[in-house]
Amino acid sequence: MANIENFNFAGLKAIVRVDFNVPLDDNGNITDDTRIRGALPTLKKILADGGALIIMSHMGKPKGKVNPKYSLSQIQGAVAAALGTDVKFAPDCANAAEAAAALKPGEVLLLENLRFYAEEEGKPVGIEKEDPAYEDAKKEMKARQKEFSKTLASYADVYVNDAFGTAHRKHASTAVIADYFDADHKILGYLMEKEVTAVDNVLSNIKRPFTAIMGGSKVSTKIGIIENLMDKVDNLILCGGMTYTFSKARGGKIGLSICEDDKLDLALDIIAKAKEKGVNLVIGVDCVAGDAFSNDANRQIFPTNDIPEGWEGMDAGPKTREMFADAIKEAKTILWNGPAGVFEFDNFAEGSRAIAEAIVEATDNGAFSLVGGGDSVACVNKFGLADKVSYVSTGGGALLEAIEGKVLPGIAAIKG
Ligand code: AMP
């Protein structure tokens, strides 16, 4: 497999899939440019080598239709500023052959939003799965997706995928396009390499003890990950809203706390499995409860199995925070996904803060720590600790699928 560091792009045209799905305000201004900055090492390396650069991305969910609200022309200036060079714009990504052919070494072309074409995602539009004609429509769309991918591939000599955020999708630009390049001309970008290495550090290249922290609102959305991790971790902290499903399953009183009543058996199953596998399962014993779902609610500490009516567990209590910190501080590998409470409310953020701070301490002591998947990234950002952990993943769904043990199509298309 070709490697970005060793590849020489001189005199070649590279088409690079990035994730420039950046948030915009009502005036089309970028409110968070993390994703653009994340792709810069790869883009700059290609230009520095003397290659020409064709950048492609999606933005939002235009569902196969042209929609100015999602036009990448809005970020053309920001990309140019970040790269420190002019960026040309191709207003139709499927008809950019001339603009691509005219590119000289060191020049940059940004293609319009790939998802203005339904072919990018490759799902038939305007037809329900139940429709008898759906299967035929799907086949036809897959054929069109191949054509679309071939067109994109025809613009360049080499394909680089640096969009980890969409690596779990088998889309034209993230996976199918790779079929049109030989093994020496398809490459993972630097960001993608970093993500793959980080995932590898928590799934196979594990230094022990390994502590995983799974939080968030529901056990049902994390079950695939919990099951995959059960064979790998030494300590498994389950926190956040799912605490109360476990508590109720064990016969506890949980007041108004959130609970998945249809997952009580599953919770007992997880407890039994952890015991069988010798995993130290850490679930909160006390909580900070509120008498309303609001930052200004009255607060009181209760045992997680004895919460009175009218109160709901919204954060980890003081004993629980200590238990979490103990299991984290001794670890040499740490994975954190999902908050320990309603961290968006400052008055219920202490559990998540305790986790973040313990991770920072362990990292200082030589642990590898990976934080990823939506809200835990928001947590470390909120506490100003993002640069004090080993790695903050840029991919929400993609990271979750990777740690569930699934093969990501965007990576498989290049690595084989
Ligand atoms: P998820 O999307 O499943 O990772 O869940 C993240 C959300 O879970 C965040 O918005 C938190 O506010 C929420 N959450 C965490 N703990 C609780 C809790 N005890 N009660 C209600 N929501 C919670």
From ligand 1's centre to the CA of 221, what distance in Å? 12
pTM for the model: 0.92
- Spell out the residues 6+ positions from residue 39 whose beta carbon is closer than 8 angstroms to its own: 16, 18, 19, 20, 162, 189, 191
- Spell out the residues 6+ positions from residue 90 whose beta carbon is closer than 8 angstroms to its own: 96, 99, 100, 109, 110, 111, 112
> Does 258 sit in the ligand 1 pocket, CB within 6 Å?
yes
Task: Pick the atom of ligand 1 nearest to 341's CA.
Answer: 16
Separation CA 354–CA 336 (nearest Å): 12
Query: What pLDDT sits at residue 375?
Result: 87
User: Max Cα separation, the chain?
Assistant: 71
Tokens of 379: 């947590």
Task: Pick the atom of ligand 1 nearest to 373's CA.
Answer: 4
CB atoms within 10 A of CB 406: 13
Sheet containing 235-238: order of strands: 280-283, 235-238, 210-214, 333-337, 368-371, 391-392
Q: Whose CA is nearest to atom 10 of ligand 1?
A: 342
Positions annotated as catalytic residues are 35, 218, 374, 397
Task: Report, as ranges of residue numbers, the positions in the chain whose pLDDT lies below 50.
Answer: none
Separation CA 333–CA 3 (nearest Å): 27
State the alpha helices, DSSP H only, in 182-222.
190-203
> Does 240 sit in the ligand 1 pocket, CB within 6 Å?
yes
Place of tokens 């997680």: 304
Contact call for residues 167 and 178 (beta carbons, < 8 A)? no
Query: What pLDDT sits at residue 2?
Result: 87
CB atoms within 10 A of CB 402: 27
In the chain, CATH 3.40.50.1260 covers 13-188, 196-403
From ligand 1's centre to the CA of 199, what distance in Å? 24
> Does 284 sit in the ligand 1 pocket, CB within 6 Å?
no
Query: What pLDDT sits at residue 394?
Result: 85
Pocket test for ligand 1, best of 299, 375, 379, 382 (most atoms within 8 A of CB): 375
> Does 255 sit in the ligand 1 pocket, CB within 6 Å?
no
From ligand 1's centre to the CA of 242, what distance in Å? 8
- Spell out the residues 6+ positions from residue 219 whose beta carbon is closer than 8 angstroms to its own: 226, 238, 242, 245, 246, 260, 263, 266, 267, 270
Architecture of 13-188 per CATH? 3-Layer(aba) Sandwich (3.40)
Query: What pLDDT sits at residue 416?
Result: 83
> Does 344 sit in the ligand 1 pocket, CB within 6 Å?
yes
Query: What pLDDT sits at residue 34?
Result: 86
Q: What angle do CA 250, 251, 255 make, to 5 degrees?
A: 115
Tokens of 173: 């630009």
Place of tokens 């609970």: 259
Query: What pLDDT sits at residue 388?
Result: 98
Domain 196-403 part of CATH 3.10.290.10: no
Task: Pick the atom of ligand 1 nearest to 339's CA.
Answer: 15
Element (H, E) at 286: strand 286-290
Percent helix / strand / coil, the chain, rounded to 5: 45, 15, 40
Q: What is the dihedral of CA 299, 300, 304, 305, to 10 degrees?
A: -130
Q: Whose CA is nearest to atom 6 of ligand 1?
A: 216
Task: Pick the atom of ligand 1 nearest to 376's CA.
Answer: 4
**In a 3-state reduction of DSSP, which class is residue 306?**
strand
Query: What pLDDT sits at residue 396?
Result: 86
Which residue(s) pair with 392 in the sheet? 371
For 222, what's the count of Cα atoms within 13 Å in the CB-facing half-sphere? Answer: 28
Angle (deg, nearest 10), helices 190-203 and 396-403: 40
Tokens of 318: 């003081």
DSSP assignments along 147-172, one per residue: HHHHHHHHT-SEEEE--GGGTTS--T
